[in-house]
Structure 1
Amino acid sequence: MTILVIGATGRVGHHVVDQLVNRGAEVRVLTRDPSKNAFPDGVEVAKGDLLDIDSLRHAFSGITSLFLLNAVTGDEFTQALITLNIAREAGVERVVYLSVFDADKAVNVPHFAVKYGAERMLEKMGFSATILRPAYFIDNEKMIKEVIFNYSVYPMPIGGKGVAMVDVRDIAEVAAIELIRRDQAPEKLPNDTINMVGPDTLTGSGVAEIWSEIIGRPVNYGGDDPSEFEQNMATFMPKWTAYEMRLMAERYVSDGMIPQSGDVERLTRILGRPLHSYRRFAETLFSETTEKA
């Protein structure tokens, strides 16, 4: 019984692979360039991408379950639908799909709308699926640490409604648990959706306070206006991607990413441990950065 992991080289995916291997699962990964990535011993590597039909068919040969993580690209929806069609063609019915928090509501944000489209396909085409809907990744803060440390500003426009930031390690561990649960079930299990959130719902000013305490000097929140955020993102990513990030930030400000009642308790029960906290992540990031300085 072999589980195929698509998206295995990213921030979540490589943790999923590690978690599956640690639990004794047989794992195959699909990657464009196997020479650029090191995987744990025993992991089977298939070369290809999601628009190469022949390589996809080869990757799905002998597979029983799928973890699917689509990168945010201009053709993300095409990649997702092709992959799920090939999975169905290969007889693979058991899927864990990485979506996004409130995918069904943030319809103006392209990659939210894409992921909701894939969710609908999983439902309508009879897959046995767990859909993971993560909030903002705590791990994203690594991209802005220099701004925080050097300029004493927390620049992410996450607003005042609250965002339950989630650690990628928690996402990956739940994904592995769900993959193995579905893969080992004697019959198809009902579909399920799990909100992946952190233990604390944080505002922009609240995060700035956390950093002030950790660094030992005042850190200010940069404010809710996403226009400067878009401009900064456009300096190192395509402008369409920067614009999409702006649209996502506008949703943080207008709606937040607020857990439903019982979300945190459910995740704690699945994992059998407390969720990783933002403060602990921030303390570790600051410690690692100052040690290297």
Structure 2
Amino acid sequence: MSILVTGATGSIGSAVIERLAAEGAPVRALTRAPGNYKAPAGVQSVAGDMTDIPSMRAALQGVDTLFLLNAVVPDELTQALATLGLAREAGIQRIVYLSVLNGDRFTDVPHFTVKYAVERAIEQFDLPATVLRPSYFMQNDANIKDVIAQHGVYPMALGKVGVSMVDTRDIADVAAASLLRRSRASGALPREVIELVGPDAITGEGAAAIWSEALGRPVAYGGDDLDAAEANIARQQPSWAAYDLRLMLARFHADGMLAKPAANGIMTSVLGRAPRSYRDFVRETVASMTTT
């Protein structure tokens, strides 16, 4: 029996696979093109597409543990529910699902509502699963590091309430630990939810100040203009995705994306250390920019 990791070629999925392989766990990496996938030692690549049901049935054969990670795509809900249904059909009793923080509250944000709908299915069918709810990824800001450095502006319209950003390395660490715990258990474990957050609530102004500190020169906050934010995102992503993210930013402005009081303690318990801070992430990012 083995652990099947979906989203295997993405940043989180690949990091989860590396951690599982390092622990000697039997791992299968789901990919559309196994011939092009460079699997870590001991990892088996398997062909599969979550919109192709026969391929997923085949990929789930001999699997006892599933890491379900879906990209934000227009048919995300179909992919996730179909894969869960096939996992139930295959009798899989060990599941870790990557959801999102505040999915139950941000109902006007499409990709949040999709992930919460999957959570509801997990609950309704009483699937033995760990549901991970990560906050906004710190590594999203790695995509704008050149803009920040070259123009002295932090452009992401985070607002003034605060976002408890989480490092994707911490997400991968908790996901791998959760998969190993379920995989190695003698039977199905109770369903649980873990919120994945960082230690600080970061505002737009606060992020700009941290980048300014790390770069050693002024960085201004670009402001809360959502029209401008949507237009900037649409230069890199499809219009539906840009609008989805605009709605997310609007909720950040109104409500923030804040950790519950117990979340950091739970994270620290699972990780065996404190979660990484946004300041440390920025310092590491700036250091990597000066050495490349």
TM over 0.5: yes
Aligned to 1:192: 192
CA offset digits 1:28-69 (Å, max 9, x no partner): 011011233312111111112001111101100000010000
Distance (whole Å) between structure 1 residues aligned to residue 189 and residue 154 of structure 2: 43
Q: Which residue of 1 aligns with 2:271?
A: 271
State the partner residue of 1:132: 132
Match of 2:224 in 1: 224
Give the share of equivalent positions with the same residue, in percent.
50
Residue 175 (str. 1) matches residue 170 (str. 2): no
Structure 2 residue matching 1:71: 3-state secondary structure: coil
* Residues in 1 aligned to 2:253 and 2:238: alpha-carbon distance in whole angstroms: 23
Spell out structure 1 runs of 4+ moving beyond 6 A: none
Q: Which runs of 5+ in 2 are unaligned?
A: none
| Counterpart residue identity of residue 62, structure 1 | G
Q: Which residue of 2 aligns with 1:118?
A: 118
Residues 173, 271 of structure 1: 8 Å contact kept: yes
SS in 2 for 1:12: helix
Which amino acid letter does the alignment assign opposite residue 201 of structure 2?
Answer: T
CA distance in 1, matches of 2:272, 2:208: 30
CA distance in structure 2 between the aligned counterparts of 1:254 and 1:138, rounded to whole angstroms: 20
Name the SS for the 2:11 alignment partner: coil
Measure how far apart 1:226 and its partner are: 1.7
Aligned to 1:39: 39
Matched, 1:54 2:54: yes
CA distance in 2, matches of 1:61, 1:211: 48
Whether the aligned pair in 1 keeps the contact of 2:130 and 2:191 (CA below 8 Å) is yes
SS in 1 for 2:258: coil
Aligned 8 A contact 1:93 1:126 in 2: no
SS across alignment from 1:46: strand
In structure 2, what residue type is equivalent to 1:189? L
Partner of 1:118, secondary structure, is: helix
Shift of 1:187: 2.2
Q: Contact between 1:50 and 1:83, CA under 8 Å: does it hold in 2?
A: yes
Provide Cα deviations, 1:132-159, integer angstroms capped at 9, x if missing partner: 0000100101111111001111111111
Whether the 8 Å CA contact 1:106–1:251 is kept in 2: the answer is yes
Structure 2 CA distance for aligned equivalents of residues 156 and 10 of structure 1: 22
Deviation of 1:283 after TM superposition, in Å, equals 1.1
Uncovered stretches (5+) of structure 1, i.e. residues with no partner: none
Structure 2 length normalisation: TM-score? 0.98
State how far apart, in whole Å, the 2-side matches of 1:291 and 1:69 are. 33
Higher mean C-alpha displacement, 232-241 vs 55-64: 232-241
- For 2:268 and 2:37, how far apart are their aligned partners in 1? 32
Residue by residue over 1:144-175, the C-alpha shift from the partner in whole angstroms, topping out at 9 and shown as x without a partner, is 11110011111111111111110111001101
Q: Secondary structure at the match of 2:131?
A: strand
The structural deviation recorded for 1:253 is 1.1
User: CA shift at 1:212, angstroms?
Assistant: 0.9
TM-score by length of 1: 0.97
1:255-266 equivalences under 5 Å are 255-266=255-266
Question: RMSD of the TM alignment (CA)?
Answer: 1.0
Distance 1:34 1:153 in 2: 41
Q: Which amino acid aligns with 2:171?
A: I
> Does 1:63 pair with 2:56?
no
Separation (CA, whole Å) in 2 of partners of 1:290 and 1:228: 30
2:264 matches 1:236: no
Tell whether the 8 Å contact from 2:70 to 2:76 is kept in structure 1 after alignment: yes
Secondary structure at 2:291 match in 1: helix
In 2, Cα distance between equivalents of 1:128 and 1:288: 41
Which whole-Å CA distance do the structure 2 matches of 1:11 and 1:40 have between them? Answer: 14
Structure 1 Cα separation of the partners of residues 53 and 262 of structure 2: 41
Answer with 280-289 or 82-91: which moved more: 280-289
